[in-house]
Amino acid sequence: MTTTPHRTIGPQLDHAFVERLAARRPTRFQHNLPGHPLLSLDEIARLGEELPPASVSVEVGEKPIAAGAAEGVAVQVDDIGAAIRNIATTSSWFTLLHIHQVDRYQLLVDEIIDGLAATSGLSPASLRRRMGFLFASSPRAVTAAHFDIEHSFCMQLQGTRTLGFGKWADDDERAKDVRDYWNGDFGRFHTMPATTDEFEIGPGDGCYIPPWTPHWITNHDETSLSMTVTFFNDDNEDESLVQAFNTKFENRGLHPRRYGVSPGRDRAKVRFMRAYGATKRRLGMSDSGGGSH
């Protein structure tokens, strides 16, 4: 992949990436985040202390890749900062969720996504609902197999890991897992998907993780620090709105058409869900979950 003259600290992509994003193809890239002052172990620990408890997720480090529901591997930690600073020896796995709720990290998430847009030729305004996540995990820790509905860009800061990609056996399996996702299962796999690709990523390496693409990560023998930024564009926003619509009806025993089968019906469902979401927001009801892991 050739580089462009645009200088960015985040993913260094080129115009060929636009097609890969549209085709949802995993794509490796380089970035310049290692050494960034907001991304040292100590700064990540400080952010962990600053975030509300609901934005810090802790799990057992060494666990099966197909770990099933998060509750089964969750860990309760009292001193978040100390536990992150001692991550080399605690066999644990930390996610700091929605780091963009802290101003200095929101600026960083925007800088990374705007840079990604500039190097690839995408419109920055088309990359919406931008979110940021930081991960700190012990040697040999595992990020359990799951899928996300966002476009995700995983950027390794410290340590080396193997990122695996997989696929569903068929469309029915995908549809079942999608329905479970919208019913609160967060896209975690109980059995291992078939492997399609494996990438080794070290400091300065990164990978585009497409939406609805099974993936998992295993740390090598060092502590791992990484950052992920995510966004929605028309592609995954439309599909997610149709899935949310369909799940409401499937839960009542109906069988609405899957996304992609009938584009006209998909557009009508998207319009309905946008109006429904706007109404809920007007009434002060939450309609957002979101979260990469």
Our CB check for Fe ion shows the closer of 159 and 291 to be 291
Task: Give the type of residue at 183.
Answer: N
Q: How far is the CB of 256 from Fe ion (least distance, A)?
A: 27
- Least Å distance between CB 78 and Fe ion? 27
CB of 152 to Fe ion, least distance (A): 6
* Other CB atoms within 10 Å distance of the CB of residue 286: 7
Which one, of 210, 212, 204, lies nearest residue 11 by Cα?
204
CB 27 within 8 A of CB 206: no
Nearer to Fe ion, 56 or 273 (CB): 56
Nearer residue to Fe ion within complex by CB, 186 or 276: 186
| Nearest to Fe ion of 227, 270 (CB atom) | 227
- Paired residues of 219 in beta bridges: 161
**Contact pattern from residue 184 through residue 223 relative to Fe ion, giving x for each residue in contact according to CB under 5 A and a dash for the rest:** ----------------------------------------
Question: In terms of residues, how long is the chain?
Answer: 293
As measured in angstroms, the least distance from the Cβ of 26 to Fe ion is 12
Nearest to 193 by CA among 145, 143, 144, 142: 145
> In the complex, what is the shortest distance from the CB of residue 167 to Fe ion, in angstroms, rounded to a whole number?
15
Strand partners, 153: 208, 229
The residue to which tokens 């996504």 are assigned: 113
Of 17 and 189, which CB lies nearer to Fe ion in the complex structure? 189
Tell me the number of residues near Fe ion by CB under 5 A: 1
- Categorise residue 35: left if φ over 0, alpha if ψ from -120 to 50, beta otherwise: left
Closest approach of Cβ 143 to Fe ion, in Å? 7
Identity of the residue, 145 or 270, whose beta carbon is nearer to Fe ion in the bound complex: 145
Of residues 131-150, those binding Fe ion (CB under 5 A): 148
Nearest to Fe ion by Cβ — which residue?
148
| Binding to Fe ion in span 145-174, by CB under 5 A | 148
Specify the pairing of strand 194-201 against strand 92-96. unpaired
> Rounded to an integer, what distance in angstroms lies between the CA atom of residue 243 and that of residue 293?
19
Determine the straight-line distance between the first and last CA of the chain, rounded to whole angstroms. Answer: 28
**Site residues (CB under 5 A) for Fe ion?**
148
